[in-house]
Structure 1
Amino acid sequence: MDLQRWVFRPFFWMATLAIAGWQSGCTFQKTPPVDAPSSSATPSIPISSSKGGMTLPPNFVVQVVQQVGPAVVRINSARTVQDERGTSLFEHFFDMPSQNRGQERVERGTGSGFIFDAKGLVMTNAHVVDKADAVTVLLKDGRELKGKVLGEDPFTDVAVVKIEAANLPVVNLGDSKKLLPGEWAIAIGNPLGLDNTVTVGIISATGRSGSAIGISDRRVRFIQTDAAINPGNSGGPLLNARGQVIGVNTAIIQGAQGLGFAIPISSAQPIAQQLVATGKAVHAYLGVQMVDLTSELRDRLNQEENFKLGTDKGVLVVKVVPNSPAAKGGMEDGDLILSINNQAVRTTDEVQQVVESTKAGNPITLKVQHQGQARNLRVTLGSLKPEQLESDRPGASLSLQIHQVQMPLGKGFLQNSKSNVRGSESI
């Protein structure tokens, strides 16, 4: 199949002025909440209602931009990397290392962010500040401030940067859980270094899973929008018609028009709270690769010797990661997950939601079917590490490409089949 490559939003340039991007990477552990913004928070745009529906001011976008714009910032970052050049002809023939090999160079990038707390807390994308040696935050009023990365989370692509300044404008956070397709969406950011750029569209969809859009290593149900998002918009706010932040702009599909994605603020805020409190976010980890079981897949599997499924309802375990919580709890390749904690599950999304809503270190009870026999398993969830998620994924991980999962079947489960199944999820 054709691989769709994802473009995350940082706008990087090197000494050659070539544009490049940094590649980035759930249960939320309860932590003390971030203090509520002070009175400097921007007020919401008033919207009147009538029997005919909601009535917006004629220039509501202008009002949103004027009130929220000052709290949207530009983030310049720099990191030092080793220049890994290939072996030259001189080195190949004379076996002498080049003096230029292994030299350090500085990569610089630009992204966006927004001040969500008057104490100087800025929310942005993790890939904007990933491995940054220096971070500079530029405000709309002209102030240029040194930023300190308090923490970054590759699994949700959320990061928090701290700046020291007085009289900071602050955004008003909304409720992304109540979003409906068709609502207004306003994006503010710094695409391609063009500060304070405003684009407008609608909410195209909500609840897009990572696997549905080709980035299954993200613990996020994305907001989809057709508001234009371009390199440099990363970390900027997606706003509703009231001027409230409903999402953190993060990704588009390269070559597509009107397909942008944002992290819901209701997901980003708890992660930000953890990053402020502890510098890291904790995610529960089960340790399986899984796919939705469909009638078509069931029929294909049942053609294999010694492999029979009597149902097409459930989630099929493609692989159990060795030494993972799932393996320690007795899960096996080929298990069909029927329920978790006595709640039926039919999709990988439902399994992920249960795991994400359970604190790492707590147990879950799974009802599975294996070779036609039902059994109950108790699995204590672990804490997810970046290298664990990478090892869970088939093929080249963290390339953010839609991939196919080859599922060999029969004895030892999934060893000899030529069948390919899309949409493998890891959790």
Structure 2
Amino acid sequence: MIHALRYLGWPLLVGLLVALLIIQRYPHWVGLENKPEYTLQQAPLPTGPQQGPYSYATAVSGAAPAVANLYTTKVIDKPQQPLAKDDPLFQRFFGDSLPRQRRMESSLGSAVIMSPEGYLLTNNHVTANAEQIVVALRDGRETLARVIGSDPETDLAVLKIDLTDLPVITLGRSDSIRVGDVTLAIGNPFGVGQTVTMGIISATGRNQLGLNTYEDFIQTDAAINRGNSGGALVDATGHLIGINTAIISESGGSQGIGFAIPVKLAMEVMKAIIEHGQVIRGWLGVEVQSLTQELAESFGQAGRPGIVVAGVYRDGPAERAGLRPGDLILSIDGIQSSNGRNSMNQVARTRPGDKIDIDILRNGKPLTLTAEVGMRPPVENRPNK
């Protein structure tokens, strides 16, 4: 008996180990639950019905009537022979009296009806130098619009039409939007008529794009094409959150990178234009650049925030205050200066005539200068440095 157990013991033991390995590797073969080798955190099961939107028709029906199509015409005056001005033969016979060609050029755009009094917001680049602006409403009415004022530095313009019973957009809150929120772009792309496209908020606070002087764009992947400029960017409830302005595209068509001016900024510009005919901004008359690592080391200020004065406008507020090129601005009115754009926007929000303290570092020595903020002149009237 003992001899038989010794003879059969090893095969039985090996068979038992093999069975355990098979059960562990393929538990479902014997009816056991297959447990994964990793742990996943699962969301809890919903306790009620799902509340996802299946249509944005209500939002569109509320916002779309307040978005108008714009048709602008402008006179283009240019030489009949584009190269004539550089041709000595033409210059010899015609001098400065070269034959010129005048023609009308049409362009498309969109605008948003902001008030029942007939004020509309659109882009400055849509209406700039326009001889005539025709506004076509969704209800079929058409009328001529006049430009109340424009602000090239934010690319906004305010129009006025004289019609009654105007549909008006409902304002949203551009300062509370989140990346991932659904957006709808309404406009007149390529002149095909009013069109609605859908996307999400891709980013907020986009700047340094080289599009405008003051940039604080909402980025969206809702399709924006030529003709959408000046149209409405609305949220999922149909409330206005931005004015469609530009796209980044190598082909000229929509590639999912569109930009809109936040409605909060647009309303500030519109209010200033209606009340004053222009946007009144504070101005120091200074050009600055951010403090790079190399510049910080040259100033002996590695790791310290600041902005460098790159240029000072002649007889401007900064020059009168004693600011010089090469100065390192540490703070303006107690607010740390770590970004040139943010600091200049801070100055722009200051009322002209107010005085501000500027803490600087000059030749390694700290100084505090006091400047009286001036009024920012129009771009075409900007003084020389």
- Structures share fold, TM-score greater than 0.5: yes
Distance (Å, rounded) in 1 between the aligned partners of 2:47 and 2:128: 49
Out of 49, 56, 62, which is 2:57 matched to? Answer: 62
- Cα gap change, 1:183 to 1:151, in 2 (>3 Å): same
Segments of 5+ residues of structure 2 without an aligned counterpart are: 1-45
The aligned counterpart of 1:260 is 258
**Partner SS for 2:84:** coil
Residues in 2 aligned to 1:98 and 1:369: alpha-carbon distance in whole angstroms: 53
Residue in structure 2 matched with residue 298 of structure 1 by the alignment: 296
Partner of residue 44, structure 1: none
Does the CA-based 8 Å contact 2:281-2:349 persist in structure 1? no
Secondary structure (helix, strand or coil) at the match of 1:117 reads coil
Q: Which amino acid aligns with 1:113?
A: A
Residues matched between the structures, number: 333
Specify every segment of 5 or more residues in structure 1 that has no aligned partner in the other structure, as ranges.
Answer: 1-49, 393-427
Q: CA RMSD in A?
A: 2.5
Q: What is the CA–CA distance in structure 1 between the aligned matches of 2:355 and 2:204, rounded to whole Å?
A: 30
> What residue in structure 2 maps to residue 328 of structure 1?
320
Look up the match of 1:418. Answer: none
Alignment of 1:185-224 (within 5 A): 185-209=183-207, 211=208, 213-215=209-211, 217-224=212-219
Post-superposition Cα deviations, 1:105-164, rounded to whole Å, max 9, x if no partner, equal 222211101111011111101111112121110011111111111111111111111111
Cα gap change, 1:56/1:268 in structure 2, threshold over 3 Å: closer, same or farther?
farther
Q: Could you tell me the TM-score, scaled by structure 2's length?
A: 0.80
Equivalent residue in structure 2 for 1:387, among 365, 371, 380: 380
Change (3 A) 1:120 1:56: farther
Q: Which has the higher contact order (CA 8 A, sep 6+)?
A: 1
**Residues 58 and 237, structure 2, Cα contact 8 Å, conserved in 1:** no
Give the ranges of 4+ consecutive aligned residues of structure 1 lying more than 4 Å apart after TM superposition: 88-91, 97-100, 388-392
Report what 2:41 is aligned to: none
Q: Any conservation in 2 of the 1:220–1:267 contact (CA below 8 Å)?
A: no
* Matched residue type, 1:67: G
Equivalent residues of 1:71, 1:169 under 8 A apart? yes
Corresponding residue to 1:174 among 172, 175, 179? 172
2:340 aligned partner: 348
User: CA separation in 1, counterparts of 2:128 and 2:47?
Assistant: 49
Change (3 A) 1:236 1:318: same
Q: Partner amino acid for 2:233?
A: L
1:157-172 correspondence to structure 2 within 5 Å: 157-172=155-170
Report the equivalent of 2:360: 368
Q: Residues 99 and 344 of structure 1: is their aligned pair in 2 closer, same or farther, counting only changes over 3 Å?
A: closer
Identity of aligned residues (%): 36
Deviation at 1:101, TM superposition (A): 2.2
Q: Distance in 2 between matches of 1:75 and 1:278?
A: 25
| 1:225-259 C-alpha deviation (Å, 9 max, x unpaired) | 11111111110011111111100011112318221
8 Å contact kept, 2:217–2:260: yes
**Partner SS, residue 65 of structure 1:** helix
Structure holding more helix per residue: 2
Contact 1:337–1:369 (8 Å) recurs in 2: yes
Rounded Cα–Cα distance in structure 2 between residues aligned with 1:132 and 1:121: 18
TM score, norm. by length of structure 1: 0.72
- Separation in 2, partners of 1:382, 1:129: 29
Report the alpha carbon displacement of residue 93 of structure 1 after superposing the two structures with TM. Answer: 7.5
